[in-house]
Structure 1
Amino acid sequence: MHRSPTAEAEVAEELAAVRPDLASRYTAELPGARAAVLTRLWRALAHEPLPWVTGHETARDALVLRLRDGRRLHGPAADPYATTAYVSVVRLDETPYDDPARLMTDLGVPHGADAAAELGHSVASSALSRAGQQKPTNEWPGTDWEWEQRVVDGHPFHPNCRSRPGFSVAEQLAYGPEHRPLVELGLMPVRADECLVTGVWPEGMRDGERLLIPVHPWQAAHVLKRTGDAGPAAHPLMSLRTLALPDGGPHVKTALSARLTSSVRDISVYSIGMSATLSAFAESLEAHTDGLLHFTRTLGAATAHSPDLAAVLRESPRRYAGSGEHVVPVAALATTELPGDPAWLADFTRLALTVGLRLLELGVALEAHGQNLLVVLSPQGAPLRLVYRDLADIRVSPHRLARHGLPVPELTGRIVTDDETALRRKLFGALVAGALAGTAGSGAVLGTALETAVRDLPRTADLVALVENPLPAKALTLMRLSPGTPGDQWAELPNPLR
């Protein structure tokens, strides 16, 4: 079996030094981590428009991919919506591979070496994340950050689901939400007149004429090269760079100039400048959702005119839960028994599509993936309403807003578009091919839930497009292999309704 031990061995060596008690568990988790990443990579090879894959041959439960150089990749039939690790080996001609990094290396495609290194990190970090888990319990968490930290494997469909290059083992253990640490933020003093501030910056993060901008300790050590003042201790959330302040305090989104999954997680000056306008606009939309959707308000945002030194303060989603209710990130639903109930899944799917399609009709496409979208559950687990956070990548159509007599906010840049394809891709790719698919766990289960849910929805042009066309999804691996191509690239997945 061909295997690239570099990242795995590096993590094992560091782990032996900093947490020797986890070493044997890490080793035991490596085969499962390789299969989890290989499954995601096989999905990408099978369904993304990769220019060096020239044909597909299917026979029973097998799939063969013809490559441009004449070689063939052999593997199982690829369900684009499956979330379990069902691919343990693929063959390149007659050579078997259980290691996604080694496979990417031997494919020899442009930019494959960098992608292979990230796949190796993804495997090693996934095994480390799994090794540090406590014994599972059926008791539901009592805090919002505990729900976030139940998500161990990261993005359900991205091969780089746990890629954290630039993070040592000690740093992953200290900052990764799945390891349940308490992270001590820094407060970087910057003269107020040298900053862009929107919203209301709290008095507790001011020092005379200086702002105290929250800084992640990794950012302080590796990018800013200075620590600043001691700040509050906080619980890292699913995105790692966003943290919950204690006692139900706000969530703090910090700049993290590291490539996690596929994107560098800094905070652009553009997004800081738009944040207050977007927050007020989103709040005005709630009246059009019949109480089914809340947006977490942006309280304040500040940047020292640098994507490396910026922060956003947001309300905790917990604010929108009543007594006995739970607010659960959709990505964390898979850690419960709820998706196993077809009636529950249909109800949740109906709720999510009702809200998403209604806003799309009005002119707002949410990037409602499993991290941005949360569901409020009753004490018995019934889906009641939704909460959406992080408005930085929604899309707004002035034409659609005006058609419905709604005020058009003063927005500029990438957020604004009237392109119907772009609007539908944003919502369908994140909500249906992302959040709902990740909750359902397979194409068959997703198709059944969608079929039940769409019967009761208004037959708008957007719904027709959802039901009748292939389902758009970001071509995440193609994007990593195309560093010179800006913006998102897309795949068309088989529609689970057809």
Structure 2
Amino acid sequence: MPAMHPRDGVGEAADAYAAAPLLNCLLREVAEPAAESEGPGGRRVYRLPAGGRLLRVRGGRRPAEPELCTAGIWQRLSHAELVKLTAEELRRHTGLSNSELPTEMTDSRDAVAAILSAREGLTPPPDPYRRSEQSLITGHPYHPAPKARGGGPVAGWLPYAPEAYADFPLVLLGLREDAVAEEGDTRALDALGEAPPGYRLLPAHPWQLDLVGTRPEIREAFADGRLVRLGRSASPAWPTAAIRTLYVPDADLFVKFSLDVRITNDIRRLWRHDLLELRHTDEAVRSAFAAEGGSAAWLSDRGYRTADFAFEELAVLVRDGLREQVAPGATPLLAAALTEGFEGSPLDTLTDPAAWWTAYLRQVVPPVLTLFARHGVVLEAHLQNTVVAVDTDGMPVQALFRDAEGVKLLPDVTRAAGWERLVYCLVVNNLLEIAGALGERYPGTELWAPVRRELIRCGRGLRLPEVEELLSSPGLPGKTNLLLRWTGADGADARYLPLPNPFRTTNT
């Protein structure tokens, strides 16, 4: 997270927050190191190969203060100037033009400014789990536009923004029984309100209903009585970091909706093909967790309900809540929040960061590797799909995983492709980011020997040959979100480039 001071204006702060992930992408995917450092503060210098220009930044997990060398003079770049520079370099680098992504980058920065303004004077929510889910101002640290909200007016999305500590009631619709399409266990939805005879309750996200409610097929359904408005839910819901997934605390229930807005790489709709695969995927994961036992838990996507005339647009997915899944006395926290920081983060008060790190690895790594080795399940164990529960001393005692939509099963994908995805999500997106946050707060902490020891321990116990290959590999798969978006590739079409493997040569 960029270092901010009270005197900094919202615009300057928004520039810094938005520049950090964009620089991370540009430096990882395109730029080449030109010198270790130059000038005060150990600034790192990079060459942009297509244009031959030199870029200098203050280094670290979240690079800052970009400067371009022009006529031998270093000139500070605003976020708008950085966007322009990035677009020019990518046009030369790829031979392709893209007017959409620069707009998204600007939208992302403007969204951060709106969020920062909305937060002024607000008190963070008292529940530490909710604070963790609603803490992500930077968001994905390796995406060029992690906070873009589809370019719509602020008034359209800010009331539903987790980063602004939003909570709100659900819109309750009545869906005529002959128009219902559903699968799995959706009974929890019926407890959110009361539908009239001949109808089933269909909760809707108010933002999504604003986006799609005027489409002809939905207008016609309201006109002919297949859909009726029943008001709002009595219990409020609040958005998690995923934005379209809400938690209803009174019901201890997560509900995930379609959202016809591009967030990071994808339009966040519950696509028909994913919904039709949901039960098969979720049952495979639930069975694998049940077979293994232990403290790790899976938040099951129990089922979905929707309208047959607006199958994707009005879909709602039902997901397990936390109370029956979290270990007694433990406090759940979103893993992504540990890398950004939030009030009450256990990383702020550690007396033994090495012990904390060892405990985190022991909770998070074994379940992911075990499900792959014994059940052919590839969890999407990145930071936003991992919840770590901590005891009263802040020590990790349990890991919980979620989101069947992101799970892959062997042999639906090849073993090699599944392993690469596992390593990206678990190691690059999750462990390397947590390690970076720890190393930043507690310099000198040994980070990589514990990772190596845990991988060796699990790999031997599971007889997983891929672990040995990982430990000896010079590179790790880094996802290329900037190039993926610039070239217009499908968001699910992950492309990787090798990153240095920091635990390759660590002694154990």
TM-score of the alignment, normalized to the shorter chain, above 0.5: yes
Three-state SS of the structure 2 residue aligned to 1:430 is helix
| 1:91 matched to 2:91 | no
Structure 2 residue aligned with 1:6: none
Structure 2 residue aligned with 1:291: 294
How far apart are the structure 1 equivalents of 2:25 and 2:433? 15
Structure 2 residue aligned with 1:151: 136
* Compared CA separation, residues 468 and 479, structure 1 to 2 (3 A): same
Structure 1 residue aligned with 2:470: 466
Range that drifts further, 318-327 or 114-123: 318-327
Q: Deviations over 1:350-396 (max 9, x none)?
A: 32122211112121111111111111212222211211111111111
Structure 2 residue aligned with 1:397: 410
* Compared CA separation, residues 27 and 209, structure 1 to 2 (3 A): farther
Q: Deviations over 1:285-329 (max 9, x none)?
A: 113444132111223302335321211011113321244211111
Report the AA paired with residue 89 of structure 1: P
Three-state SS of the structure 2 residue aligned to 1:308 is coil
Structure 2 residue aligned with 1:34: 15
Matches within 5 A, 1:318-329: 318-329=323-334
How far apart are the structure 1 equivalents of 2:67 and 2:276? 47
How far apart are the structure 2 equivalents of 1:166 and 1:159? 15
Report the AA paired with residue 102 of structure 1: K
Structure 2 residue aligned with 1:12: none
Question: Do the aligned residues in 1 keep the contact of 2:57 with 2:65 (CA within 8 Å)?
Answer: no
Question: Do the aligned residues in 2 keep the contact of 1:473 with 1:493 (CA within 8 Å)?
Answer: yes
How far apart are the structure 1 equivalents of 2:314 and 2:372? 33
TM-score of the pair, normalised by structure 1: 0.81
* Compared CA separation, residues 209 and 488, structure 1 to 2 (3 A): farther
Three-state SS of the structure 2 residue aligned to 1:319 is coil
| 1:377 matched to 2:390 | yes
- Give the Å deviation of 1:448: 5.2
Matches within 5 A, 1:118-267: 118-133=104-119, 141-142=126-127, 144-202=129-187, 203-204=190-191, 206-225=195-214, 228-232=229-233, 233-267=236-270
Q: Deviations over 1:461-495 (max 9, x none)?
A: 22123322211132111111011557222222111
Structure 2 residue aligned with 1:457: 458
Three-state SS of the structure 2 residue aligned to 1:392 is helix
How far apart are the structure 2 equivalents of 1:296 and 1:34? 36
* Compared CA separation, residues 364 and 346, structure 1 to 2 (3 A): same
Report the AA paired with residue 242 of structure 1: T
Q: Deviations over 1:405-425 (max 9, x none)?
A: xxxxxxxxxxx21x2331122
Report the AA paired with residue 156 of structure 1: P
Three-state SS of the structure 1 residue aligned to 2:406 is coil
Matches within 5 A, 1:9-28: 28=9
How far apart are the structure 2 equivalents of 1:155 and 1:326? 24
Q: Deviations over 1:102-133 (max 9, x none)?
A: 33344462344321111111112123323333
Structure 1 residue aligned with 2:317: 312
Three-state SS of the structure 2 residue aligned to 1:371 is helix
TM-score of the pair, normalised by structure 2: 0.79
Matches within 5 A, 1:418-437: 419-437=414-432
Question: Do the aligned residues in 2 keep the contact of 1:357 with 1:463 (CA within 8 Å)?
Answer: no
Structure 2 residue aligned with 1:401: none
* Compared CA separation, residues 260 and 378, structure 1 to 2 (3 A): same
- Give the Å deviation of 1:93: 5.1
Structure 2 residue aligned with 1:104: 86
How far apart are the structure 2 equivalents of 1:37 and 1:364? 35
Q: Deviations over 1:221-257 (max 9, x none)?
A: 1222269432323111111111111324211101100
Question: Do the aligned residues in 2 keep the contact of 1:368 with 1:427 (CA within 8 Å)?
Answer: yes
Three-state SS of the structure 2 residue aligned to 1:317 is coil
Q: 1:71 aligns with which of 52, 61, 73?
A: 52
Three-state SS of the structure 2 residue aligned to 1:88 is strand
How far apart are the structure 2 equivalents of 1:289 and 1:31? 50
Three-state SS of the structure 1 residue aligned to 2:405 is coil
Structure 2 residue aligned with 1:441: 436
What root-mean-square deviation, in Å, do the aligned CA atoms of Structure 1 and Structure 2 show?
A: 3.0
How far apart are the structure 2 equivalents of 1:300 and 1:187? 18
Range that drifts further, 103-112 or 275-284: 103-112
Taking only the aligned residue pairs, the percentage that are identical comes to 24
Question: Do the aligned residues in 2 keep the contact of 1:97 with 1:103 (CA within 8 Å)?
Answer: no
Three-state SS of the structure 1 residue aligned to 2:458 is coil
How far apart are the structure 2 equivalents of 1:93 and 1:488? 35
* Compared CA separation, residues 344 and 245, structure 1 to 2 (3 A): same
* Compared CA separation, residues 26 and 355, structure 1 to 2 (3 A): farther
How far apart are the structure 1 equivalents of 2:58 and 2:438? 12
How far apart are the structure 2 equivalents of 1:191 and 1:59? 66
- Give the Å deviation of 1:348: 0.5
* Compared CA separation, residues 144 and 315, structure 1 to 2 (3 A): farther
Q: 1:47 aligns with which of 8, 28, 49?
A: 28
Report the AA paired with residue 97 of structure 1: L
* Compared CA separation, residues 439 and 59, structure 1 to 2 (3 A): closer
Three-state SS of the structure 1 residue aligned to 2:383 is coil
How far apart are the structure 2 equivalents of 1:214 and 1:27? 41
Three-state SS of the structure 2 residue aligned to 1:193 is helix
How far apart are the structure 2 equivalents of 1:338 and 1:349? 15
Report the AA paired with residue 211 of structure 1: R
Three-state SS of the structure 2 residue aligned to 1:320 is coil
- Give the Å deviation of 1:75: 2.4
Structure 2 residue aligned with 1:20: none
* Compared CA separation, residues 220 and 292, structure 1 to 2 (3 A): same
Three-state SS of the structure 2 residue aligned to 1:456 is helix
Question: Do the aligned residues in 1 keep the contact of 2:253 with 2:320 (CA within 8 Å)?
Answer: yes
Q: Where in structure 2 are there 5+ consecutive unaligned residues?
A: 1-5, 220-227, 440-444
* Compared CA separation, residues 108 and 373, structure 1 to 2 (3 A): closer
Structure 2 residue aligned with 1:497: 503
How far apart are the structure 1 equivalents of 2:63 and 2:369? 33
Structure 2 residue aligned with 1:21: none
